[in-house]
Structure 1
Amino acid sequence: MEIRSAKISDAEELLSIYAPYVIDTAITFEYDVPTTEEFRERIENTLKKYPYLCAVENGKILGYAYATTFKERAAYQWSVELSIYVEKKARRQGVGRKLYEVLEKELKKSGISNLYACIAVPVQEADEYLNFDSENFHARLGFKKVGTFTKCARKFGRFYSMIWMEKFI
């Protein structure tokens, strides 16, 4: 598996990974799948300042991860928010771990010290749209839970909470 920088031309393939998360899960609180053009713009805007990485095997993108601005004010410039999405068939095969390992190295080289992950979690037990896998994944990689926003989002006719996790690199 190769980890490489995303290209604008990857937008359609990356969107095919992201779309099921929008349609079938509460992992993202986005209701509508973005257009390919909108996704291209997201990639392009991220790459202006931060890494946007793809995991590729046999010419197929298995997942992607990127960093974005944590907060706009200059004092936050050493902190970033991370996002990661892995093709359903490629989950639990080390793709996410490898993406984050490379992403962390690149961010550390650029002077970033604080990583944040904003993660959707079920209000009570896991349901058909959301479980605790993302929280557990981040915990295994050394992220610590630092806050909870209870029932802050609604999707599929039910409320979900959001947690923030952080890691210092």
Structure 2
Amino acid sequence: MSIREAVPADVPAMLAIYAEYVTQTAVSFEYEVPSEAEFTRRLAEHTAVYPWLVWEEDNRVLGYCYAGRAFERAAYAWNAEISCYLAHEAQHRGIGRQLYARVEELLCRQGCRKVFAVVTSANEPSLAFHRSIGYRDAACFRQVGFKFGRWYDVTWLEKSLCPLGEPSEFPISWKEVL
């Protein structure tokens, strides 16, 4: 088993994991599973600046975790948003915790000060997980996502990665801190 950088060849495996969240749950608010081309585009866009890692066992990707820009304006540059998706058989084994720890470490080394997680009310285990690893509730938006015939809340959770202080420069690409 290993944690490593996600590469385009991992897209089919990651997309297979994600597809279940899209088609069978309200964990993802997407209605349609992205195409391989779209998922590959997302991977390239995120990894230009932020980490995207996979958990691999026996040459099989069982999960992935990535970060991205949390907000658009320049003053928000020291923040990131994190997401993680695991195959069913990878859940409840501490894999998410290990992936998060590695992505958070890289974000801190990049110069990010805070990380946000966005979790739907359809995913109580994820809310509990985030709270158990130091995330705290920052905001709850009531009944903002509609999927499978019902409305869901969205909770934003936040975690401080590094002391705030006054930064001397903008965060750098994660590839510069590997």
TM-score range, shorter-chain basis?
Answer: over 0.9
User: 2: distance between equivalents of 1:142 and 1:71?
Assistant: 21
The aligned counterpart of 1:102 is 102
Percent identical among aligned pairs is 39
TM-score after normalising by structure 1: 0.94
TM-score after normalising by structure 2: 0.89
Alignment of 1:58-97 (within 5 A): 58-97=58-97
Does the CA contact (< 8 Å) of 1:62 and 1:95 recur in 2? no
Alignment of 1:5-154 (within 5 A): 5-121=5-121, 130-154=122-146
Q: CA deviation at 1:131?
A: 3.9
User: 1: distance between equivalents of 2:129 and 2:61?
Assistant: 20
Give 2:29's aligned amino acid.
F
Partner residue of 1:163 out of 155, 158, 162: 155
Q: CA deviation at 1:113?
A: 1.0
User: 1: distance between equivalents of 2:92 and 2:113?
Assistant: 27
Give CA-to-partner distance per residue, 1:99-151, whole Å, 9 cap, x none. 00110111111101100001000xxxxxxxx3400100100110000110000
SS state of the match for residue 119, structure 1?
A: strand
Aligned residue pairs, count: 161
Gapped regions of structure 1 (runs ≥ 5): 122-129
Q: CA deviation at 1:89?
A: 1.1
Q: RMSD of aligned C-alpha atoms?
A: 0.7
Give 1:102's aligned amino acid.
R
User: 1: distance between equivalents of 2:8 and 2:75?
Assistant: 30
Q: CA deviation at 1:154?
A: 0.3
User: 2: distance between equivalents of 1:8 and 1:46?
Assistant: 12
Give CA-to-partner distance per residue, 1:19-47, whole Å, 9 cap, x none. 00000000000000001111111101111
SS state of the match for residue 20, structure 1?
A: helix
Give CA-to-partner distance per residue, 1:2-25, whole Å, 9 cap, x none. 110100111111000000000000
Give 2:154's aligned amino acid.
M
User: 1: distance between equivalents of 2:16 and 2:123?
Assistant: 21
